[in-house]
Structure 1
Amino acid sequence: MKLMEVNDDLLSNLKAGKRLVIRGEKTDHAVLCTDNTTYDLKLAETTNGLLLVPDGVTSDSFVDNTRSLEHKQVAGLIHTYFELKPTRPKLKKVRVLLEDSEYEGAVEEGAREITGKLYTTDDLLDIVQASEDEIFRELAKIQACTINGHWRLLSFEYKSRVIASILNLVEENSWHLSAVPLDEVLNTLDNLEPRCILKHVLACYSEKSKQNNESESILYSLNEDKICQHYAEALLRNSGKFNLEEFMAAWQQCVPEGMKTDPAQLKGIALVDKTSFPEVIFRYHIDDLPEGERERFNALFKMKRKWTMDEIKPYVEELTSEKVSIGALLQKHARASTGPNGVKYFNSKHPVK
């Protein structure tokens, strides 16, 4: 028998008949998950042995101070128990697993053999160390979709092709960017791409429109920030360092007419080197950074010795929690200093490896 110390939330889950699941592969440190929370599972020692007694009687069971002697069989002597502490889910593995089998379109799918393993929901729940809700939120964040029962990532090139097809259709029909009819997109483009892919890409780069629609067709409003960010990444993806002024001009020319690019759309995907003359921009994507807190800060300070708050915030926001703010993270891993221009900078508190 093993003992496990649970908090009130976990106890409520158990009393309600819900499951607690231990997840991970054999080489992983074990975590325990509810439907929506992940806990670190560690073995703790007790200074005194604990006797496990089935049907044991406690002092609050006695009435009117009446006492009696009962013989009980001791089922076990325990010196350790499992201690549970809330922890950040280990979600980077989801992207790593799915990157080996990116979907590149129906034609390419039929013409080549898929080298990577395909994963169902049950497969991911078996090996990813996170709760079910956290895994589904991560799948939405990385824009994964289900194709024939398996979770797949669309390759960047294929996704770009689908986005271009939708935007060309919008332009040909002079549709307003906030009133793109779903049915017409599907009926026109389903000879080029599967309907499930068209719906998925629309869901990733737009929201259901609030505009009135007399035809009763579902309307979508294209998300300016997401579309512009996609085109920024397309420009930076294989270009190395790019003259900032030239990049901004080229970027604005790439996006659909009626959309406006903004440097804020680059947060988390690119950095500007202001020490260079002229200033240059290059791809630096949050998805390429380590998942661990210490490793993340080490990688950031290895890339750049000093960061402003606006620069570093997009890369560390996801490490925060209800109890740990960005300020607390920076206080733990960085030293603050004020530059000659009055701007606050952060540099590493620990040696950068």
Structure 2
Amino acid sequence: MYNIYAQTKFSSDCSYKFIQLAPDLLEYVESGGGELSIKVPDEKKHYAVLCTENKTYQLIQMNHTNTVLLSNDTSVNKMGQNVSSNQLSGEEEAKIVSFASLSYEYEPRVTSGHINVENLPVFDGQKLSSSSTNVTVDQILDLSPISKTEFFVEWYDLCGTEYKNQAATLSGSFVTEILSTLLTILIAEGVDYRQELEAAQIIEWMQAQNANMTSAFIETVLHKFGICNKDIVTLDHKKIPAWFGLQALIDTHSRILTENDFLLSWKSSLPAFYNVPIDLKQLRGNFCRPSAQEKNKIQHINPNSLSVGDLSARFKDLFSVSKEWDYDEFVPFIDKYLPVGKKPESLILKYARKRRMGKKIVVCQR
């Protein structure tokens, strides 16, 4: 038989919490290959998260009434083999530490993480906007419930940068200016913008053109619109025209335009001799078709202006601008709110309905 050494009186200056470890987390811990940290964001709507170097796990409290045994692997394995206590040394036997009845433990679930840049100052190419927040990029990383690798991917995607050792974001107009300058220089230098590029050479050319474009600003744009592998950059020529298209859509100030008129405006916003295909599909999640009778007309919608916390209210907002939606144009407005493992139909069937019209599927109110 086993002797279980249970601590019956717990120290008053500390407490213990149990976290279940999935196979990938257990492997990460046992490999000793990186940092493991718990972050608790200030926002009430976000849970505490467990972060490895490149993954973020939301910690979900799982309530139960189970008894928990704390022991080492050697003892557990020998218990599984039904070994009697006289076959264990005293040292091994004592490795069964304790047992306890806990009311809950934490289950880590993979999540996307989050960065809040709402209060950061914005640089528009000339000056930094006023802001009560003055923090460094490292401080933003420490405060954000997201792993380090995922942080920098999202940070650059949000146009995050550094200005005089202060964390900031770049304005949309300045990002467009940097992109236009980049592509114009590459074309003027006779460089094939579809091939791998040297980051150092790009920075040198662009700073010679505009001294306000610091290396930090340029690196933000290169990471946002390209794949950076050390000092080599490969631009993404799907993201770049989509960015110009979004800015052209924003510049319409929500006026209703025909598809052809907008496409001409979008094409003219691209740098001269920058030849890439453009398609409205690239801008899904940013426009609607306000008239069911005139399907060739579009209108800009800022997705951030729609309700966020209440999905029912978000659906109502969408149907207030258009009573009927093409399925593929509706889904981008809700896909980021889908529960893990769920399909868009699960939300659509709950808050709306869909029906087939010829070859198309449309989403409409109940």
- Counterpart CA distance in 2 for 1:55 and 1:198 is 51
How many Å apart are 1:101 and its aligned residue? 0.9
SS in 1 for 2:62: strand
Q: Deviations over 1:114-147 (max 9, x none)?
A: 4142443442333322333322221132232334
1:212-227 map, 5 Å: 223-227=236-240
How many Å apart are 1:194 and its aligned residue? 2.1
Of 61, 64, 77 in structure 2, the residue corresponding to residue 46 of structure 1 is 64
SS in 1 for 2:105: strand
Confirm or deny: 8 A CA contact 1:89 1:129 kept in the other structure. Answer: no
Confirm or deny: 8 A CA contact 1:94 1:139 kept in the other structure. Answer: no
Q: Deviations over 1:203-247 (max 9, x none)?
A: 544568xxxxxxxxx997765443433333333324222322432
SS in 1 for 2:153: helix
**Residue identity in the other structure for 2:160:** A
Tell me if 1:307 matches 2:325. yes
- Counterpart CA distance in 1 for 2:237 and 2:82 is 69
Q: Which residue of 2 aligns with 1:241?
A: 255
Of 252, 256, 260 in structure 1, the residue corresponding to residue 271 of structure 2 is 256
- Counterpart CA distance in 1 for 2:96 and 2:245 is 70
Of 255, 269, 291 in structure 1, the residue corresponding to residue 286 of structure 2 is 269
Q: Which residue of 2 aligns with 1:15?
A: 30
Tell me if 1:94 matches 2:112. no
- Counterpart CA distance in 1 for 2:232 and 2:41 is 44
How many Å apart are 1:250 and its aligned residue? 2.4
How many Å apart are 1:53 and its aligned residue? 8.2
Q: Which residue of 1 aligns with 2:301?
A: 284
- Return 5+ residue gaps in structure 2 as ranges: 1-15
Q: Which deviates more from structure 2 when the two are superposed, residues 291-300 or residues 119-128?
A: 291-300
- Counterpart CA distance in 2 for 1:177 and 1:56 is 59
TM-score, scaled relative to structure 2:
0.70
SS in 2 for 1:136: helix
How many Å apart are 1:326 and its aligned residue? 4.2
TM-score, scaled relative to structure 1:
0.72
Mark the CA change 1:346 to 1:60 in structure 2 (over 3 Å): closer, same or farther: same
Confirm or deny: 8 A CA contact 2:65 2:104 kept in the other structure. Answer: no
Confirm or deny: 8 A CA contact 2:290 2:322 kept in the other structure. Answer: no
How many Å apart are 1:155 and its aligned residue? 0.7
How many Å apart are 1:84 and its aligned residue? 0.8
Mark the CA change 1:20 to 1:71 in structure 2 (over 3 Å): closer, same or farther: closer
How many Å apart are 1:321 and its aligned residue? 8.2
Confirm or deny: 8 A CA contact 1:186 1:195 kept in the other structure. Answer: no
| Superposition RMSD in Å | 4.3
Q: Which residue of 1 aligns with 2:142?
A: 126
1:93-172 map, 5 Å: 93-97=115-119, 100-105=120-125, 107-109=126-128, 114-169=130-185
**Residue identity in the other structure for 2:330:** I
**Residue identity in the other structure for 2:118:** V
Of 41, 44, 53 in structure 2, the residue corresponding to residue 35 of structure 1 is 53
Confirm or deny: 8 A CA contact 1:3 1:80 kept in the other structure. Answer: no
**Residue identity in the other structure for 1:79:** L
- Return 5+ residue gaps in structure 1 as ranges: 209-217
